[in-house]
Amino acid sequence: MTENQNLPFIRSRHEYKGVMYPNFVLDSSIERLRTFQVRPDDVWLLSFPKAGTHWMMEIVGLILSDGDPGRIDRSLYSSTVEMINMDQPFPATREAEIAHPVDMSPFLDVVEEAPSPRVMIDHLTLDLLPEDILKSKIVYTARNPKDSILSWYEFVKDDPVYSLTMDKAIEEFMNYTMNWGCWPNHVRQFWQRRDHENVTFIFYEDLIRDPAKNIRKIASGIGHPLSEEILQRVVKLSHIDSQRQRFQEMAESGQENLVGNAGQYTFLNKGIAGRWKEHFTVAQNEAFDKWYQHEMADTDLLFTFE
């Protein structure tokens, strides 16, 4: 067998209604989501992939636990709501997968039965999420697309299923064949609702530049304002270096490491903005800028690329 044939089916991709998804996303769960029963105290952490989702998960967890990482409820952090339950060991070869099949049970079943307040993560566009999702709290994280592309490339570049190069990563982003589809549509849908009382729209770059200001905004938006003392604690503990140390300690103590499901990928990267400049060629950058100006010409949504 070739290396690709040895890879578990679960790590490949499929198309559903014109959008590419990893095989651990269930089409049936996407269908169920439109009628999913939201609760007023639900908190949805939404973003296009590679826009700082796991950083936001830790920030919101620290906010809700008043700055105590030991009290963070990570029970719904292993998967987006339309995935299978990712909190399980994954086989490294096709033979191992046949001997011990992956449990394809919907993570949505776990989410539906979880106690309040639920903190959920997702990458779907707004039109695929629950019809009444705006009754609950939403934190949307938007990141400049060049850094998102780089982060996606570094995330899967060593996976032969994707066979990704920077050229291919940029191309897939611009023609909407990257997992979870059309970035311009994704960010526009939430930007248009940024003034809704239950929506907190956060730029990744602003969060890096002024974490205290933006964490205060997030805390207020989800109905959990912080004292200055706790705010500063959340700022400190949500820094990427603090997170890495914490997750390393969790792994060493035998706890589940939620930044590396199945040991295949790492969800914490550099945590800085503007790294795309070290990786995009002049030709790639010019092509992307032309595409970007065309696709985003009709919106006042502006990103910081530095």
Domain at 14, CATH number: 3.40.50.300
Rounded to an integer, the average pLDDT of 117-146 is: 97
Indicate whether 306 belongs to any domain.
no
103 — pLDDT class (breaks 50, 70, 90): confident
247 — pLDDT class (breaks 50, 70, 90): low
Q: Which one-letter amino acid corresponds to residue 162? A: Y
Q: What would the two tokens of residue 218 be?
A: 């997030």
Indicate whether 301 belongs to any domain.
no
Rounded to an integer, the average pLDDT of 123-139 is: 98
The total number of residues written for the chain in this structure? 306
10 Å CB burial of residue 187 (0-12, 13-18, 19+) is buried
Indicate whether 300 belongs to any domain.
no
Rounded to an integer, the average pLDDT of 30-38 is: 97
Indicate whether 215 belongs to any domain.
yes
d(CA 279, CA 218): 32
Which range, of 119-123, 157-161, 301-305, averages the lowest pLDDT?
Answer: 157-161
Helix, strand or coil, per DSSP, at residue 110: helix
CB count, 10 Å around CB of 184? 19
The pLDDT score that the predictor gives to residue 273 is 84
Indicate whether 303 belongs to any domain.
no
d(CA 172, CA 179): 9
Rounded to an integer, the average pLDDT of 188-201 is: 98
Count of structural domains within the chain: 1
Q: What would the two tokens of residue 108 be?
A: 């949505």
Indicate whether 254 belongs to any domain.
yes
d(CA 115, CA 222): 17
d(CA 240, CA 52): 11
d(CA 107, CA 103): 10
The pLDDT score that the predictor gives to residue 219 is 98
Indicate whether 144 belongs to any domain.
yes
**CA distance to 48, 144, 147, 191, 278, per residue, from 285 (Å):** 21, 13, 12, 25, 11
Identify whether the C-beta of residue 80 lies closer than 8 Å to the C-beta of residue 33.
no
The pLDDT score that the predictor gives to residue 261 is 43
Identify whether the C-beta of residue 150 lies closer than 8 Å to the C-beta of residue 170.
no
Contacts of 76 (CB under 8 A, 6+ apart): 110, 111, 114, 118, 119, 120, 121
Tally of CA atoms within 13 A in the half-sphere of 159 that contains its CB: 20
Instruction: Name the residue range of residue 87's domain.
Output: 3-295
Q: State yes or no: cis peptide before 106, omega within 30 of 0.
A: no
252: pLDDT strictly greater than 80: no
Indicate whether 82 belongs to any domain.
yes
